[in-house]
């Protein structure tokens, strides 16, 4: 599932009046950088969503009338942000205001620069195969609409400039400025550009790195707001102001919405734990020893213990699948994505969290048949213990029975057991699951005539 890329924009999320201040603040903390849409298969989307800040700004025609007030406020907010974050201001930061049209143009340009049409297609196919988005879901246009709605500002590492949305009042924007200017300070001290050139193929690690960056900026923003309750009031006023819509994000498929928020919500929880342990200096240290997986973000004790992900590989399968099969994607899901993949159908958060915990490592390979457009998703997962693997296996069986409502257990291929399940679906081929010790292999969309045992042996590396 999709990947977050290094663009630091602020989004506005509906400040629900229901939330108590802390919750509201947390929710407001989600006045986010439209940087992410999340790890593994979800992370890929996140990268595409997040890849919004890279391209250098083409000079806009007229100076935006709101720019003057943004520029005037920038140095003051930067100074205070540096004090809170205990990072020196090494350079002034160029800033300004931009219209919705300008921001949308930047979003589209960066999305297309950061993600090829093939990558966007692969994300869309993967999200549909996992049943996380509707069959008619248009990923690219959806992302652009969502981000255009949500962006309230952004910082751009390439040009070291930041811009605020000109349709939101400046008072309500000060916390967003503190968030964005934290990115400017992170960039001056830790070089954020390296996050936009993240090597492909491990979106879960990229999501984790972004959770540090966004969690850090969101924690600083929280401290900034809490210094003066007038700021909280101004922020809530602007979050509920005219033009502040969250219609699109609330209508977004759950996995995409929650993965968009991951770097901010779970990111801030993670960074708060690091802060409790060693204050801002330890958070700065983390830029030298980045969190390596969404598992480390969700379980900071595993970050402190440097429990590294297990490297998992899936061999090339096209040969066994036959003619016209192409591998579209090869990436890492991570604990966060498995939680989303399970809970989309189990709708039992505690159960899904428990089944996704114990994640050791994984790899998925996504294939598409060029002529039939049939899709095969091969996943190989490694768990900390055989018990963790069994728990995940059972949960994924329950998820699969709901994902493929019409599926019937294929007893000819294999008698359903605790370690192997085969289903025949209508129109989506076979679904095959096998657990061997602490590893679970899952194949969804296996063409009818395929030699299932040979395919499983190949994936599990026992052939
Ligand atoms: Zn941000």
Give per-residue pLDDT as tens, 144-166.
888 888 788 888 888 899 998 88
The region that residue 334 occupies, defined by phi over 0 for left and psi between -120 and 50 for alpha, beta otherwise, is left
Q: Where are the domains of the chain?
A: 7-297, 318-460
Contacts 24+ apart (CB under 8 A), 306-312: 309/204, 309/205, 309/334, 309/360, 309/361, 310/360, 310/361, 310/382, 311/361, 312/361, 312/362, 312/363, 312/380, 312/381, 312/382
Q: Residue 339 corresponds to which tokens in the numbers above?
A: 């939680």
Angle at 123 between CA 308 and CA 345, to 5 degrees: 80
Is 425 a residue whose pLDDT tops 60?
A: yes
CA distance 100 to 151: 9
**Which DSSP letter does residue 19 get?**
S
Ligand 1 centroid–CA 10 distance in Å is: 6
Ligand 1 centroid–CA 161 distance in Å is: 13
Rounded (10°) CA dihedral 18, 24, 26, 31: 110
Average pLDDT over residues 38-53: 43
Average pLDDT over residues 289-315: 98
Ligand 1 centroid–CA 214 distance in Å is: 5
Using a CB cutoff of 5 Å, list residues around ligand 1, an ion. 8, 33, 214, 217
Chain-wide mean pLDDT for the chain? 86
419-438 burial: b if 16+ Cβ within 10 Å, else e: ebbbbbbeebbbbbbbbeeb
What pLDDT does 110 receive?
87
What pLDDT does 6 receive?
40
Q: Return the bridge partners of 379, or none.
A: 364, 442
Hey, what CATH class is 318-460 in? alpha beta
| Residue 443: φ, ψ to 5° | -125, 120
Ligand 1 centroid–CA 308 distance in Å is: 26
Average pLDDT over residues 54-76: 71
Ligand 1 centroid–CA 269 distance in Å is: 15
Distances (CA, A) of 423 to 137, 332, 363, 379, 427: 26, 25, 22, 16, 12
pLDDT tens figures, 14-45: 333 333 333 444 444 444 454 433 333 444 44
Average pLDDT over residues 425-445: 96
Is 3 a residue whose pLDDT tops 70?
A: no
What is this structure's pTM? 0.86
Q: Which of 110, 111, 129 is CA-nearest to residue 119?
A: 111
pLDDT tens figures, 222-273: 999 999 988 988 888 777 765 566 888 899 999 999 999 999 999 999 999 9
Ligand 1 centroid–CA 458 distance in Å is: 42
Ligand 1 centroid–CA 352 distance in Å is: 28
Ligand 1 centroid–CA 105 distance in Å is: 19
CA distance 55 to 95: 16
pLDDT tens figures, 366-422: 999 999 999 999 999 999 999 999 999 999 999 999 999 999 987 665 566 789 999
């Amino acid at each position: 599932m999709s990947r977050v890329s290094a663009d630091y924009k602020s989004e506005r999320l509906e400040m629900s009046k229901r939330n108590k201040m802390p919750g509201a603040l947390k929710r407001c903390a989600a006045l986010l950088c439209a940087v992410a849409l999340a790890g593994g298969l979800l992370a890929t989307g996140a990268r595409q969503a997040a890849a919004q800040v890279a391209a250098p700004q083409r000079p806009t025609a007229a100076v935006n009338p709101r720019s003057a007030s943004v520029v005037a406020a920038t140095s003051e907010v930067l100074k205070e942000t540096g004090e809170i974050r205990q990072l020196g201001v090494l350079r002034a930061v160029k800033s300004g205001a931009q219209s919705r049209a300008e921001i949308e143009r930047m979003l589209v340009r960066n999305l297309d620069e950061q993600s090829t049409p093939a990558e966007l297609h692969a994300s869309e196919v993967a999200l549909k195969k996992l049943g996380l988005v509707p069959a008619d879901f248009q990923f690219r246009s959806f992302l652009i609409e969502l981000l255009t709605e949500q962006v309230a500002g952004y910082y751009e590492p390439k040009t070291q400039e930041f811009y605020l949305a000109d349709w939101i009042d400046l008072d309500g924007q000060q916390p967003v400025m503190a968030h964005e200017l934290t990115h400017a300070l992170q960039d001056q001290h830790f070089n954020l550009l390296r996050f936009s050139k993240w090597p492909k193929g491990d979106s879960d690690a990229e999501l984790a790195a972004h959770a540090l960056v966004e969690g850090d900026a969101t924690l600083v923003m929280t401290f900034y707001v809490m210094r003066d309750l007038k700021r909280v009031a101004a922020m809530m006023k602007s979050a509920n102001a005219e033009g502040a819509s969250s219609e699109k994000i609330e209508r977004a498929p759950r996995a995409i919405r929650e993965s968009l928020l991951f770097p901010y919500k779970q990111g801030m929880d993670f960074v708060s734990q690091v802060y409790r342990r060693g204050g801002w200096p330890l958070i700065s240290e983390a830029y030298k020893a980045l969190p390596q997986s969404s598992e480390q973000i969700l379980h900071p004790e595993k970050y402190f213990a440097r429990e590294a992900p297990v490297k998992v590989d899936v061999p090339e399968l096209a040969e066994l699948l036959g003619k016209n099969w192409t591998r579209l994607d090869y990436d890492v899901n991570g604990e966060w994505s498995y939680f989303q993949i399970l809970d989309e159908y189990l709708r039992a958060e505690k159960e899904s969290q428990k089944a996704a915990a114990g994640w050791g490592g994984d790899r998925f390979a996504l294939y598409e048949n060029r002529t039939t457009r049939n899709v095969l998703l091969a996943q190989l997962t490694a768990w900390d213990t055989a018990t963790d693997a069994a728990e995940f296996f059972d949960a994924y069986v329950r998820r699969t029975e709901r994902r493929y409502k019409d599926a019937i257990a294929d007893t000819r291929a294999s008698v359903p057991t605790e370690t192997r399940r085969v289903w025949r679906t209508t129109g989506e081929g076979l679904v095959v699951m096998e657990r061997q010790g602490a590893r679970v292999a899952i194949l969804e969309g296996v063409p009818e005539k395929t030699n299932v045992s040979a395919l499983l042996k190949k994936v599990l590396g026992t052939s």
